Amino acid sequence: ECRSAALRFVDEVLDQHDWDGVNLAELCFDTTDGLAQPDGYIPMNPDVRRLFQQETGFDPAMLFETNSRHFWRANASALDKWTRFRTGLTRDWLAEVLQRLSRRHLDVIVTTLDSLHVPRVLEKSGSDSRDVVALMDRFRFTLQVEDPEEVWGESPARYTQYGEVYRKLVHDPSRLMFDINVVRDRDHGKVPTPLASGLEIALAARAAALAGNGRVGIYSESTVQ
């Protein structure tokens, strides 16, 4: 019922204005430190736990019990089953929304965190970049790859590397673009300033444009100034 209400709300917003496009951004779970922080880890509601237990025979809450044979640090097989189940949830949500949007003549962008270069994205968000790419065969949208916070402080040349990897998966380069996060939360890397500016952002924008279709997403209007 909650999902139906949310989808109705999306329809209402789209009907109220003459939009030219929609950006489905980060349709995934939001956790701070993944499995290492059980109190903030999602989803662990009764519905999810019941569905997973029906499929696998054990309650996913046991992944966090240190004395359980399913404890995630000690049982790679149990963790793999949970990871595939959890990423399947986000994949199916995205497909459901894309199916709904397919009836409209809009430019659709799907922004997804890059799990190919930062595998921990899978654990933290439940979003698998390969799942999103696979949906491009079923739905018409542009893939916008967003680099996670772990690499915000790395060289702007990283977008060149991302382009080389994603172009092997996305065969139509006109459907591939990259997002640049211009934010102050940069605790890693070798960047000279807390906020990207000047030559760094110019090089990042150029590398991102050449890596994809020439379009570049920049987050956000307020920080880039």
- Asked if 166 and 195 touch (Cβ cutoff 8 Å), the reply is no
> What pLDDT is attached to residue 146?
97
- Asked if 219 and 179 touch (Cβ cutoff 8 Å), the reply is yes
- Asked if 142 and 175 touch (Cβ cutoff 8 Å), the reply is yes
Mean pLDDT across 120-139: 97
Q: Band of the pLDDT at 189, cuts 50, 70, 90?
A: confident
**In this structure, which amino acid lies at residue 154?**
E
Does residue 225 register a pLDDT over 90?
Answer: no
Does residue 186 register a pLDDT over 90?
Answer: no
- Asked if 19 and 103 touch (Cβ cutoff 8 Å), the reply is no
What is Dmax (Cα atoms) for the chain?
56
Burial class (CB in 10 A: 0-12, 13-18, 19+), 119: exposed
Helix (H) or strand (E) holding 219: strand 216-219
Does residue 194 register a pLDDT over 90?
Answer: no
Residues in the chain, how many? 225
Does residue 99 register a pLDDT over 80?
Answer: yes
Per-residue pLDDT reduced to its tens digit, 26-85: 999 999 899 999 999 999 999 999 999 999 999 999 999 999 999 999 999 999 999 999
pTM for the whole structure = 0.93
In this structure, what token pair is assigned to residue 53?
A: 């237990």
> What pLDDT is attached to residue 126?
97
